[in-house]
Copies of this chain bind each other. A is one copy, B any other.
Amino acid sequence: MPSIHPVILCGGSGTRLWPMSRKARPKPFLPLLGEETLFEEAVGRLAGDARFAPPLVVAGAAHADLITAALGAAPGARLVIEPAAKNTAPAIALAAALCAPDDVLLVCPSDHHIADADAFRAAALAAAALAREGWLVAFGITPDRAETGYGYLRRGAPLAGGYAIREFVEKPDAARAAAYLASGEYSWNGGIFAFGAGQLLAELSAHRPAMAAQVAEAVAGGRWDGARFHPAAAPFGAIAGESIDYAVMENTARAAMVPVEMGWSDIGNWAALAEALAHEADAAGNITRGAAADLLDCRGVLALSDGPRISAVGLEEVCIIVSGGEVLVTTRAGAQAVGKLPGAQHQ
Contact = CB atoms under 8 A, between A and B. Distances in A.
Within the oligomer, what is the number of copies of this chain?
2
A331 B344 CA distance: 25
Contact of A313 (B314, B322, B337): B337
Interface stretch (A42-50, A148-156, A303-311): A303-311
B297 A337 contact: yes
A297 B333 CA distance: 11
- Size range of the interface on A? 20 to 34
A328 B343 contact: no
A331 B315 contact: yes
Contacts of A337: 296-297, 313-314
A342 B294 contact: yes
A342 B311 CA distance: 8
A181 interface: no
Contacts of A314: 330-331, 333-334, 337
A340 B310 CA distance: 14
A312 B211 CA distance: 41
A335 B296 CA distance: 11
Contacts of A307: 325
Given A315-B331, A331-B313, A308 B325 contact: yes
A329 B309 contact: no
A327 B341 contact: no
A209 to B, nearest CB: 43
Given A294-B341, A296-B341, A341-B296, A330 B313 contact: yes
16 contacts: A294-B342, A296-B341, A297-B337, A305-B327, A309-B325, A309-B327, A309-B343, A310-B329, A313-B330, A313-B335, A314-B331, A314-B334, A315-B331, A315-B334, A318-B318, A320-B329
